Amino acid sequence: MLPFRVVDRVKFIVERQLVKGAGFQLLVVGIFIGLISLIGGLLVVPQGGDFDDPGSAVWWAFLRLTDPGYLGDDVGTWQRFVSTLLTISGYVVFMGTLVAILTRWLIAKMEDLERGLTPVILKHHVVVLGWTAQTLPLLSELLGSSGRMRRFLEKHDTQKLNLVVLSEEASAEQVHELRNEPGIGRRARQIILRSGSAIQPEALHRVACLDAAAVIVPSAVYDASSLITSDVETVKALLSIAAQARQYQAPLPFVVAEIQDVRKLPVVGRAYPGPIEVVAGNATISRLMVQNVLHPGLSEVYNELLTAGEGNEIYVRGGDSLAGLSLGELASQRPGVIILGLLRPHGHGWDIRLAAPSETQIESEDRVVMMARGYSETESDPKLPVLPEISRGEAKRSVCADNLEGRRILLLGWNRRVPSLLAEFASYGPGQPVLDIVSVVPITEREHALSRYAAGKPFEGYSHIEADYMVEDELRRINPAGYDTILLLSSDRFASGEEADARTMVGYLQLEDILAEAPRRPQLIMELSDPDNRHLLYGHQSEMLISPMILSHVLAQVALRRELRVVLEELFTAGGAEIQFRDPGDYPLPASVDFQLLERTLAGEGEIALGVFRNQPDATGRHLMLNPPRRAFLDLQPGDRLVVLCVSD
């Protein structure tokens, strides 16, 4: 047994008391104060004088120790010497140590409060489980959806929207980010931060999930090599919510969950038996990318429809106040709205009837799908003029889906979305494009990811190139100008979206230098991860897709109106109703045409006119003009295209 000194034993005992917290620290300091007062009093007892007994001497020493104002009252050299030592000890032990302990305790308590460890006492609020790149635009969407939010609050019989966000570590820095986010600002006071992980049951209790009107579960970000994926965390959170509901015998809240792997849909269904809408993040962005390849320029359409800000959005209104009207009659009474169709209950789902004939009667259980600049425009206003009713029948011509056969596509970069992107290309029929995938990720790792996603059915028509598109010589050897379409993908192997976008934007600028020397320019689609970077590339010639903003919009709007998910899925997938671009020469249009005449002409073909895509951009760089005023003359120029909602085979 090792020998220990007495001083070591004392130090160990004191240390074990100090680590127990502020209360025990104060006890130790009190003991030291008592010992110093006792020793100081005993030192002056032999001097006699005012000290009749040891108790008076100890009290004298305690007063000198705790209050330096007594220092000049003492008489005699020895008494003054002891008093000076006691006063100095008081500065160190009583004032210094005591203030330090109390200050540290107060700071620790304030930090605990800032971390948000106290359960919220709210009902009918909206919970967001996770702080990711999507959280800020998601919160901005929820706070900015005034019309939808008003109806949402009325439905849940509450007056004020409260948002609760569960973050791994809630901090003052995140509060600062909220206040600086466009669309939030002062309304950050409506947002409550709580610390914890979505896979921790106590953290879900902390944000009062069971009392929420809606719970939104955006995908978290994990390292590509991690065994824990965002879908694993999402399923675990759903299991925990369901378990808490069983424990407290409470009804399950409505959940909007994002998953990355669409194959996990059955797992999500088994994990959560309550009301839920699932948004497949990778599949959604992949569908939009493929649609954009088929219809160059379409990114402006869904950047307007699927992101917050100025422009049009898709709204779903209940049919209870519109029952008895036909779609044509409703369109004539809403001059600022384009009626896209309706949803009719069918079993446990919906029968989607977009671009339906204008004589279709609206029933009380139906949901009417509209496109408008604001929610208020979808409501009845007797002050607005009534438009002439337009008759639209069934589609007169069959619009076949576009063929990708033979199209050469270059993918620059690699992320977890590539397997679902290739699967989306494969879903467009037998005619497949030729894809070249350029990345620094080893080919064996890419092939492994593709084979796992394809479940033993390898994709065809693609090849791998191991190169770094940031190196100009390697990029030139690939000859990007020889492709029809270039997809510049955002990497998911960086710590933040800012780092990933920095690489993407530098690669884009380098690519522009190479393409400027070529006689032919391919279609260029760039994906970004951080919404704050969308304004950095001024005057860019590429089509830009900001994945977190689009997914945030979808999650927020589906949380407020769950039927919107099936509408978006119908619009941006192969087959069914699609938004397409058309040549004005395909229709019998006069030389001068306003939007109302364009609507009437396209209605004769069973289609819906949505707007115009200009060949030349305006002063802001925009090509798209959706839902213009009915009497506005369009002044169509060579190269302009019509934006049309039609039904494809």
In a domain, 305, yes or no: no
Are the C-beta atoms of 564 and 557 separated by less than 8 Å? Answer: yes
**pLDDT of 65 strictly over 60:** yes
Place of tokens 């897709």: 545
In a domain, 552, yes or no: no
Question: Does residue 84 share a domain with residue 64?
Answer: yes
**pLDDT of 225 strictly over 70:** no
Rounded Cα distance, 236 and 609, in Å: 45
Residue 60, beta-bridge partner list: none
Question: Does residue 473 share a domain with residue 329?
Answer: no
Rounded Cα distance, 598 and 635, in Å: 12
Where is 372: in which H helix or E strand?
A: strand 367-372
Place of tokens 């407020």: 560
**pLDDT of 454 strictly over 70:** no
Average pLDDT over residues 378-391: 86
Are the C-beta atoms of 551 and 307 separated by less than 8 Å? Answer: no
Give the phi and the psi of residue 47 in degrees, each rounded to 5: -75, -15
**Six-digit token string for 522:** 């391919």
Where is 351: in which H helix or E strand?
A: strand 349-354
Question: Does residue 348 share a domain with residue 422?
Answer: no
DSSP 163: E
Torsion of CA 491, 407, 279, 315, to 10 degrees: 120
In a domain, 557, yes or no: no
Question: Does residue 315 share a domain with residue 263?
Answer: no
Q: What is the domain count for the chain?
A: 4
Q: Looking at 219, 253, 287, which one is the last position of a domain?
A: 287
Question: Does residue 440 share a domain with residue 380?
Answer: no
Rounded Cα distance, 197 and 575, in Å: 40
In a domain, 556, yes or no: no
In a domain, 301, yes or no: no
Kindly tell me the burial class for residue 459, based on how many C-beta atoms sit within 10 Å of its own C-beta (0-12, 13-18, 19 or more): middle
Where is 32: in which H helix or E strand?
A: helix 22-44
Question: Does residue 108 share a domain with residue 181?
Answer: no
**pLDDT of 456 strictly over 50:** no
Question: Does residue 158 share a domain with residue 98?
Answer: no
- How crowded is the C-beta side of 417, counted as CA atoms within 13 Å? 26
Average pLDDT over residues 496-505: 78
What CATH code is carried by the domain that includes residue 74?
1.10.287.70
What CATH code is carried by the domain that includes residue 363?
3.30.70.1450
Rounded Cα distance, 15 and 4, in Å: 16
Rounded Cα distance, 313 and 564, in Å: 11
Residue 225, CA distances (Å) to 222, 282, 445 in order:
8, 18, 10
**pLDDT of 462 strictly over 90:** no
User: In this predicted model, what pLDDT tens digit does every residue of 271-329 receive, in sequence order?
Assistant: 999 999 999 888 888 888 888 888 888 888 888 888 766 788 899 988 888 888 999 99
CA 54 to centroid of chain Cα atoms: 72
Residue 281, CA distances (Å) to 264, 500, 535, 550, 551 in order:
12, 18, 24, 10, 7
Rounded Cα distance, 143 and 139, in Å: 6
Rounded Cα distance, 298 and 613, in Å: 9
Helices assigned H by DSSP within 92-229: 98-115, 135-144, 146-155, 172-180, 201-206
Question: Does residue 210 share a domain with residue 357?
Answer: no
Closest CA to 338 of 372, 304, 385, 365: 372
Question: Does residue 233 share a domain with residue 191?
Answer: yes
Give the phi and the psi of residue 134 in degrees, each rounded to 5: -90, -15
In a domain, 10, yes or no: yes
Identify the band that residue 68 occupies on the pLDDT scale cut at 50, 70 and 90. Answer: low
What domain range includes position 59? 6-115
Rounded Cα distance, 588 and 598, in Å: 10
Q: Looking at 521, 541, 561, which one is the last position of a domain?
A: 541
In a domain, 564, yes or no: no
User: In this predicted model, what pLDDT tens digit does every residue of 238-282 receive, in sequence order?
Assistant: 999 999 999 989 999 999 999 988 888 889 989 999 999 999 888
Average pLDDT over residues 231-243: 90
Res 228: pLDDT: 66
Question: Does residue 488 share a domain with residue 345?
Answer: no
Where is 558: in which H helix or E strand?
A: helix 547-560
Place of tokens 């509450």: 158
Q: Looking at 82, 115, 148, which one is the last position of a domain?
A: 115
Q: Is 579 left (phi over 0), alpha (psi -120 to 50) or beta?
A: beta
In a domain, 271, yes or no: yes
What CATH code is carried by the domain that includes residue 535?
3.40.50.720
Question: Does residue 506 share a domain with residue 631?
Answer: no
Quickly count: other Cβ atoms within 10 Å of residue 143's Cβ. 21
Res 19: pLDDT: 63
Q: What strand order describes the sheet that includes 408-412? A: 462-466, 434-439, 408-412, 485-488, 523-528, 543-546
Identify the band that residue 226 occupies on the pLDDT scale cut at 50, 70 and 90. Answer: low
DSSP 413: S
User: In this predicted model, what pLDDT tens digit does every residue of 79-111 receive, in sequence order?
Assistant: 777 777 777 777 777 677 777 777 777 777 777
Can you tell me whether residue 471 is helix, strand or coil? coil
Question: Does residue 613 share a domain with residue 516?
Answer: no
